Homo-oligomer: A and B are copies of this chain.
Amino acid sequence: RLALPVFGAGMLSAVAYAPDAVVDALRRGSQQGAIPYMAVGVVSIMLLLGFAYRSNVRARPDNLGDYGTVRDLLGRRYGVVTGAALLVDYLFTVAVSVAAVTQLVAYLIPQLRPWVGLIGVGLIGVMTLVGLRVVRDRARVLLAVWFGFLLVVAVMLVYGVARHAAEASSPIAANPPTTWTIVLAYAGAIASGAVMVTGIEHLASAAPNHAEPRARRAGRTLLIAVSASAAAFLTVSLLAWSYRITGWADGPILLQTAEQVFRQPVTIWVVAVAAAAILYAAATAVFRRFSILASSLARDAYLPRQLSMTNDRLVVRGGILTVAVASAVMVVATGANVETLIHMYVVGAFAAIVLSQVAMVRHCTERLQLATEPGDRRRLARDRVLHGTAAVVAAGVWIIVAVFNFLNGAWLAIVMIIGLVALMHAINRHYAAVRGDVTLERKDRNVALPSATHGVVLVAQLHRPAMRALAYAKAARHSSLEAVGVQIEADAARELQRQWGKIDSGVPLVILDSPYRDLVRPVLDYVASIHRSSPRDVVVVYVPEYIVGRWWERFLHNKATKRLRSQLLGLDSVVVSAVPWHLESARDRRAAEEVPPPGEQLP
């Protein structure tokens, strides 16, 4: 039951901006009288896709969503396109939701209108900070947000109908669609209104959060969420029509309608707060969804592999920051313009919906070929028609939005999808090349051991870290072992040699000349010279490394060591062995952090 608010916020929150998209599209032809037909059209699409996705969930009760569906049924090629479309979808879920909140703010406090971009960025900042700290959803809070918003819309419905009956004013009259332009305007309005459906992919990935029988329960949840959202959308649209609200530019339709219905400033604030809460919930839910998808793509080698480690705090942070920065850029670039953002959003979301429905058609066809029982066959044939219809309708919505609003935002979403697909293919090719390179073949199984190992201990000065490295190197019993120093100043080199004679380590000290006062080159040349004289051997270079306990100490140590290490690793047949030396600050910190070994019980 808790899955409903968590996963359904994306869809229900669209009530705060979808009516605006419809009204705005109709405005171009002054056809606001047609709002009821449009609303019915949008609701039909919602229900059609609702039933289609219920079938999706029943067939694949996992949390992979459309990416998994398309990848497994249509292949990785289309899977990548779906993944890219969904990444764009999620990004604009955040951007649209935040922009819608800023419009609520600007309606209530008009003085803040010039600052909507800034407010949006601030809001994303808050979401990011919360997202970085809070790991689990506050399920009860979300439940309150979800039902609170539904309740607000229900009260609006009761009040609105009562007042309308009492005052007997007439709604906007509808002109019959006489020209093709008007038909096109209607199509555009329905397609824009289809932004109501965009949360459905998230709902369809909720199965793992349900009790058994998972698939059935998740399907039921999905239908409840779709029905509730459709009812709320219908309510707001019809009230707006009844109360003759004709322009979006005057403010969010939801708040304009509430103003007409309640005519009391306090109530409008209540409506606005309820709407802002559900929009906020929708945006934050997507943050988590984004990292799940990114990790699936990373596991399939389409994104950097470390993104697959969803348990790694740094990786999760990286994902959250990516969404935050990208959506903040979008909000600022469009000036928090909800209309433009909705076009981009629909282009991303419906690309995934179309591909997922086509995939389900293929799924039904395949099952049909195997099915023998007449009941099964009938059901599969019926589902195939359902998915086929859904695919055609969704494709229609996609084409209408992409064509009508190409210059008004859609082009950017398309470019982003194409760019992401290209990037993911490049990453995948890279990993494939590496895999081909590192895969073990039969001939590699009995790898020839290096005939000998040469130990080289870097001794900049004769201090305890170097002595420790020397002791470890001696314990390793290499075929040969030398200490190596680089002569930057003749005095220092002589002093090193003198001290070395004193300690009597039994290891020869080689002083390398450095004409250019460079620490790295002479060592590289020396290791290369060992390789030339015995090409089949491995050279193990011991490098003492300071471990610091305070962040700023990093700037004071190990710069040369790091460069040496990375240059040495560029050589063949070399092992670079770091021998740590803990500075006092590091020892102190470790002592403070000390935890009992696993298995040991605290008293």
The residues of A with any CB-CB pair to B shorter than 8 Å are 304-306, 309-312, 314, 427, 430-431, 433-435, 437-440, 444-445, 447-453, 462-465, 467-468, 470-472, 474-478, 499, 502-504, 516-519, 525, 528-529, 532, 538, 540, 542, 545-547, 553, 555-557, 559-560, 563, 565, 569-572, 574-584, 586, 590, 597-598
Contacts and interface: CB of A to CB of B under 8 A. Distances in A.
A578 B570 contact: no
A518 B516 CA distance: 45
A306 B560 contact: yes
A525 B599 CA distance: 11
11 contacts: A309-B519, A433-B584, A437-B464, A440-B463, A445-B503, A449-B474, A451-B475, A545-B569, A575-B578, A576-B578, A577-B577
B578 A569 contact: yes
Nearest to A502: B445
Contacts of A547: 569-570
A495 to B, nearest CB: 12
Given A427-B556, A450-B472, A464 B438 contact: yes
A577 B575 contact: yes
B475 A452 contact: yes
A580 B545 CA distance: 18
A575 B444 contact: no
A312 to B, nearest CB: 7
B444 A464 contact: yes
A575 B597 CA distance: 21
Nearest to A516: B311
A581 B438 contact: yes
A403 to B, nearest CB: 35
Nearest to A461: B438
Between A476, A538, A583, the greatest number of chain B beta carbons within 10 A of the residue's beta carbon is seen for A476
Contact of A447 (B447, B471, B565): B471
Given A540-B577, A555-B304, A475 B449 contact: yes
Contacts of A577: 540, 575-578
A467 B439 contact: no
A553 B305 CA distance: 12
Contacts of A590: 570
A556 B430 contact: yes
B475 A453 contact: yes
Q: Is the interface of A mostly helix, strand, loop or mixed?
A: mixed
A560 B449 contact: no
6 A-B pairs closest in CB distance: A306-B559, A438-B463, A569-B580, A577-B577, A311-B517, A450-B475
A451 B474 CA distance: 11
A476 B478 contact: yes
A125 to B, nearest CB: 25
A522 to B, nearest CB: 10
B439 A463 contact: yes
B304 A556 contact: yes
A212 to B, nearest CB: 22
A588 to B, nearest CB: 12
B439 A559 contact: no
A346 to B, nearest CB: 31
Between A474, A478, A519, A576, the greatest number of chain B beta carbons within 10 A of the residue's beta carbon is seen for A576
B584 A574 contact: no
Contact of A312 (B305, B310, B452, B518): B518
Given A440-B503, A449-B471, 15 more contacts: A305-B557, A306-B559, A306-B560, A311-B516, A312-B518, A314-B563, A430-B556, A433-B584, A439-B464, A444-B467, A447-B467, A447-B471, A449-B474, A576-B577, A576-B578
Nearest to A447: B471
A314 to B, nearest CB: 8
A597 B571 CA distance: 13
Nearest to A547: B569
A553 B598 CA distance: 37
Nearest to A519: B309
Given A577-B575, A578-B565, A580-B570, A450 B471 contact: yes
A417 to B, nearest CB: 21
A474 B453 CA distance: 10
A447 B468 contact: yes
A333 to B, nearest CB: 25
Nearest to A431: B556
A476 B546 CA distance: 25
Nearest to A589: B570
Nearest to A556: B304
Nearest to A593: B570
A451 B477 CA distance: 12
Contacts of A444: 464, 467
A51 to B, nearest CB: 35
A456 to B, nearest CB: 13
A507 to B, nearest CB: 12
A377 to B, nearest CB: 34
Contacts of A468: 447
